[in-house]
Amino acid sequence: MVPHFNTTKRRDLIRHLETHGCEFLREGGNHTIYVNRTLKKTSTVPRHKEVNDFLVYKICKDLGIPKP
């Protein structure tokens, strides 16, 4: 049996990133790259409808912003 993990909608994650000063940088193959210019940090956001919460926490940590 596969365990079920909590997920966050991608648009909610992007709204959280932009609220905390992160900016869209570019589109990759299957990912979108966001940058926090004040801290000079980048992270990739997968283009899925929902993103696993563990990955959401990692993206926020990479960009130096609080968790949603």
**CATH number assigned to the domain with residue range 7-63, chosen from the 4 options 3.20.190.10, 3.30.920.30, 3.30.70.20, 1.25.10.10:** 3.30.920.30
Q: Cα separation of 3 and 15, whole Å?
A: 28
pLDDT at position 48 is 95
Q: Of the candidates 36, 59, 31, which has an alpha carbon nearest to the alpha carbon of residue 46?
A: 31
Torsion-angle region of residue 62: left (phi > 0), alpha (psi -120 to 50) or beta?
Answer: alpha
Q: Are the C-beta atoms of residues 41 and 63 closer than 8 Å to each other?
A: yes
pLDDT at position 4 is 73
pLDDT at position 1 is 62
Considering the entire predicted model, what is its pTM? Answer: 0.91
Q: Cα separation of 6 and 33, whole Å?
A: 23
pLDDT at position 5 is 81
pLDDT tens for the chain, 68 residues: list them.
666 789 999 999 999 999 999 999 999 999 999 999 999 999 999 999 999 999 999 999 999 999 99
